[in-house]
Amino acid sequence: MAGVTRPLRVLIVDDDALVRAGLSMMLDGVHGISVVGEAADGAEVPEAADRHAPDVVLMDLRMPRVDGIAATRGLRRRDPAPEVIVLTTFDTDENILHALRAGASGFLLKDTPPAQIVDAVRQVASGDPILSPRITRRLMDRAAVQAGAYERARAALGRLSPREGDVVVAIAEGRSNAEIGAALFMSVATVKAHVSSILTKLDLDNRTQIALLAHDAGLA
């Protein structure tokens, strides 16, 4: 929210009263930032947002009734929509990606130093997303692993004939030999021969590994 000259209005959402009190104490002592409200659950967020019109929301992930992902999604549908920084102890890849897809502008761990949390509030209010360095590295590593798996899978499947490739896709779809034969107009014996050839060429042990390879290659 570039150009805002009044204090940045911050709403704190966390089911732990001590965490809320600590964040409120820390942020209310900072020039240009005002903690305008608190909520103890995601279910309280819509009313709190209506009442306080925050610029930035510090959002916990795990809360008893409505979690931080759902609450973030709801906030980002508002007009105007406040920026959301997820502040949590749970840094699994799944949580990070769900939060970002829900529209969070930042993702920080609760052990982040106070000065960095203050900087993050100012940064997202200016329209710049923020991720803790540890999370940025994890996302980069995840992307590299996924990209590598994709390339390896595509290269492996490139050793197959077009017909064998069709069988791989059908296996990834969960079809039986009979169903594959009916779909590809071949006998069950021919399907079995193709499956055996695929396993040999790709040095795999079973159909599940074929399906996983197809998934890595983006074919299923």
Whether residue 132 is predicted with pLDDT greater than 80 in this model: the reply is no
User: What pLDDT does residue 105 have?
Assistant: 84
Q: What is the mean pLDDT of residues 141-155?
A: 76
What is the maximal distance between C-alpha atoms in the chain? 76
Q: What is the mean pLDDT of residues 34-57?
A: 95
Beta bridge partners of 88: 109
User: What mean pLDDT value characterizes the chain?
Assistant: 87
Fold of the 8-131 domain: Rossmann fold (3.40.50)
User: What pLDDT does residue 2 have?
Assistant: 46
Each residue of 62-109: pLDDT tens digit? Answer: 898 999 999 999 998 898 899 999 988 866 667 777 887 788 888 888
Rounded distance between C-alpha atoms, residue 171 and residue 180, angstroms: 8
User: What pLDDT does residue 91 have?
Assistant: 65
Question: How many beta carbons lie within 10 A of that of residue 155, not counting itself?
Answer: 10
Rounded distance between C-alpha atoms, residue 45 and residue 52, angstroms: 10
Percent of residues in the chain assigned helix, strand, coil, to nearest 5? 55, 15, 30
- 3-class SS of residue 130: strand
Each residue of 99-126: pLDDT tens digit? Answer: 877 888 888 888 888 999 999 999 889 8
pTM: 0.63
CATH 1.10.10.10 fits 150-216, yes or no: yes
Which backbone phi and psi does 82 adopt, to 5 degrees?
-70, 155
Each residue of 13-40: pLDDT tens digit? Answer: 999 999 999 999 999 888 999 999 999 9
Domain boundaries, the chain: 8-131, 150-216
Rounded distance between C-alpha atoms, residue 65 and residue 39, angstroms: 12
